[in-house]
Amino acid sequence: MPLTEKDIRGIAEYVRIGLTDEEVATMTRDLNNIIELNLKPITEYELDGVEPTFHPIGDLSNVMREDVVKAPFPREVALANSSSVKDGCFMIPSILGGEGDR
């Protein structure tokens, strides 16, 4: 079922963008073309008897690893490739105005 101009106007209102009548017509045509090209092939699969899944990995409930306390990353290693360091911290150019690095 193709999108109508009414659908496009509803979407535009929902996302709070203003569209002219010409833009609505163009958007309707373009979105229907996108749907036709990208989503129609999905409907060609034979899916009778295929159970829907809600997770691509199946019934796994927790795929996270256990938290393991490790020694902290040495500051010297972290700062080794920095071009500018002061008092054990990275120096970066100021982005809020002012002169110099912070």
Tens-level pLDDT at each residue, the chain (102 residues): 799 999 999 999 999 999 999 999 999 999 999 999 988 888 888 888 888 777 666 666 776 888 899 998 899 999 999 989 999 999 988 888 766 655
- Tell me which H or E stretch contains 90: strand 89-90
Would you give the distance in Å from CA 41 to the centre of its chain? 24
Decide: pTM greater than 0.85.
no
Q: Are 75 and 85 in contact (CB under 8 A)?
A: no
> CA 53 to CA 63: how far, in whole Å?
17
Note the pLDDT of residue 26: 97
Q: Are 26 and 34 in contact (CB under 8 A)?
A: no
Note the pLDDT of residue 60: 67
Note the pLDDT of residue 50: 85
